[in-house]
Amino acid sequence: MSEFRVRNDTGAPLDEVRLTPAGAEQPLLLGPLPPGEASDYQAAPEVHRYPPVEASGPDGDLVHLPYAGTDQPGLPEGRYTYLLRVESGRLVVDLVSED
């Protein structure tokens, strides 16, 4: 079993953050995230490097989707933090292992 959380490194408040964990059909609502803050850890049977992430903020909606048809292997069990940032107007998701 792994755990993940999301941290807002965009510099702006995010009103709502949604991440779809590996194998899930519906996104997990992680709530609002002020700049520099992280969500609580969420348990997951598997964590992928590039999850679908959606966020709403003062500049509109942001979306990060993995490439269609990309088969992602699961990462080793552990604790992970997805870092959300905006680059050239696009949502970028970095991953940091907390182990």
Tens of pLDDT along 69-97? 567 888 999 999 999 999 998 999 999 99
pLDDT tens sequence across 24-54? 889 999 999 999 999 999 999 999 999 999 9
* Domain containing residue 47: 2-67+77-97
Question: Structural domain tally of the chain?
Answer: 1
DSSP conformation letters of 17-74: EEE--TT-SSPEEEEEE-TT-BPPPEEES---SS--EEEEETTEEEEE-PPTT--PPP
Residue 24 counted as domain residue: yes
Residue 31 counted as domain residue: yes
Count other C-beta atoms under 10 Å from residue 52's C-beta. 16
Q: What is the pLDDT of residue 59?
A: 79
Q: What is the pLDDT of residue 38?
A: 98
Residue 72 counted as domain residue: no
Q: What is the CATH number of the domain that holds 29?
A: 2.60.40.2890
Residue 84 counted as domain residue: yes
Residue 34 counted as domain residue: yes
Residue 25 counted as domain residue: yes
- Both tokens of 12, joined, read 């702006």
